[in-house]
Amino acid sequence: MKIESLFLLFLGCFFGVVGIVYWFWSYEQSGTMMLVGTAALGFLPGLYYFFWYKRFGGKKFFFWGEAHGAGDRPSDNEEATIAEGAGEIDSFPGSSIWPFVMGMGAFATALGLVFGSWLFFLGIPLILTALTGVTAESRRGGHV
């Protein structure tokens, strides 16, 4: 998570500096607050990733320091082989209609917020049907 945290912290710093410059240049509140929010969207996950990187034993955060820590991924180690990064290969779920039904229900429910509450009577049953269907399908291990 070293690279991800560096990237997100850089974005947070960049948009923070741009927000400060924008405020002193224009004194406009809405654009400044949007840039502050954008900086927060870089800092919050960046600091979270940095916290977990350090917690899992990452000793080398920037491009100097000690050897790689216990929490590094094989992609962070220059001496790693492809086989070390392969990981565990498991089975994948089969095709299912229920994600499509769930999406249509969510779409109809969202349209109900825009065009009228009568679309809720179409969207909510579709969502409940999709939830029931995917639950039954996952417990039986096949098609419903």
What's residue 53's pLDDT?
A: 83
- With a pLDDT cut of 70, the percent of the chain lying above it is 78
Question: If 0-12 CB within 10 Å is exposed, 13-18 middle and 19+ buried, where does residue 24 land?
Answer: exposed
What's residue 61's pLDDT?
A: 47
What's residue 143's pLDDT?
A: 55
What's residue 138's pLDDT?
A: 77
Handedness of CA 119, 124, 129, 130 (dihedral sign): positive
Residues 6 or more apart in contact with residue 144 via CB below 8 angstroms:
133, 136, 137
Domain ranges of the chain: 2-61, 98-140
What's residue 64's pLDDT?
A: 46
Distance, CA of 102 to CA of 131 (rounded, Å): 7
Distance, CA of 42 to CA of 12 (rounded, Å): 4
Q: Which stretches in the chain have pLDDT values below 70?
A: 57-76, 87, 89-93, 141-144
